[in-house]
Amino acid sequence: MRHSATTGERGGVKLGCAIAAGAVVLVALVAGSVLVGRYNGLVTRQEKVEATWSEIDNQYKRRFDLVPQLVETVQGAADFERSTLEALTEARASVGRVQLPPGLPRDPAQLQAYIEAQQGLGAALGRLFAVAEAYPTLQATQNFRALQDQLEGTENRIAVARRDYIDSVLDYNAFLRRFPTNFVAGMFGFEKQAQLAIDDREREAPKVDFDSGKE
């Protein structure tokens, strides 16, 4: 009888150990699943931030490349306001001096300086097109009108891309701060993403029209 009791006790211990081991494995699997899900969520959101930033950068570069053609076209107009043309040229040069490192912008101060230079270029373009309305001959030039249309479309795409970037960074940074995502982020080197200064106008997708009287 004693032998039988001992055997039963051992069997009970083994069963208890098996249950405990199973519980540990189950907890490990659940924890691993959560960590993998959080990691994948970070990757997905980071890729979206990268895509939206790439679109902003591409449109800014497109505008930067179009400006010399516009300057060359406007220079052919008689008595065009020299100061306006010089302001546009200087604004473009300012953009060239304030460049960001490759990849996503990480330094908020660098990003702000870059965006301010880009905004200065956009404002200079707006002033040039406003002044150009007083020059019918220039307005009638096919090349000028084509460049105006291209730049107008670029400005609109920039506005949409900026809004999309702001939204994607808000989502990524908020997800990054949550537990246990913040733990996973620390493990794999995910960092908070630099955000653009948010203005009420950034929450919309404005339609840019350099020539409000154009049909």
Indicate if the alpha-carbon torsion angle 196, 198, 201, 204 is positive or negative.
Answer: positive
User: Which carries the bigger pLDDT value, residue 25 or residue 175?
Assistant: 175
Task: Quick: pLDDT tens for 40-98.
Answer: 999 999 999 999 999 999 999 999 999 999 999 998 876 888 899 999 999 999 999 99
Task: Quick: pLDDT tens for 100-141.
Answer: 988 899 999 999 999 999 999 999 999 999 999 999 989 889
Find the helix or strand (DSSP H, E) in which 192 lies. none
H helices present in 76-180, as ranges: 82-97, 108-132, 136-139, 142-177
pLDDT at position 202, please? Answer: 46
Contact 71/85 with Cβ under 8 angstroms? yes
- The count of other CB atoms within 10 Å of the CB of residue 194 is 19
pLDDT band at 215; cut points 50, 70, 90: very low
Q: Note the CATH architecture for domain 2-203.
A: Up-down Bundle (1.20)
DSSP 104: S
Cα(38)–Cα(45) distance, rounded to whole angstroms? 11
Nearest Cα residue to 119 out of 158, 172, 148, 79: 158
Q: Give CA angle at 181 (177, 185), nearest 5°.
A: 90
Token pair of 9 as six digits: 């006790």
Question: Exposure pattern of 53-74 as b/e (b: 16+ CB <10 Å)?
Answer: bebbbebbeebeeebeebbebb
Residue type at position 8: G
DSSP 141: -
> In the chain, where are the structural domains located?
2-203
Is the pTM for the entire model greater than 0.95?
no
Task: Quick: pLDDT tens for 18-43.
Answer: 666 666 665 555 555 668 888 999 99
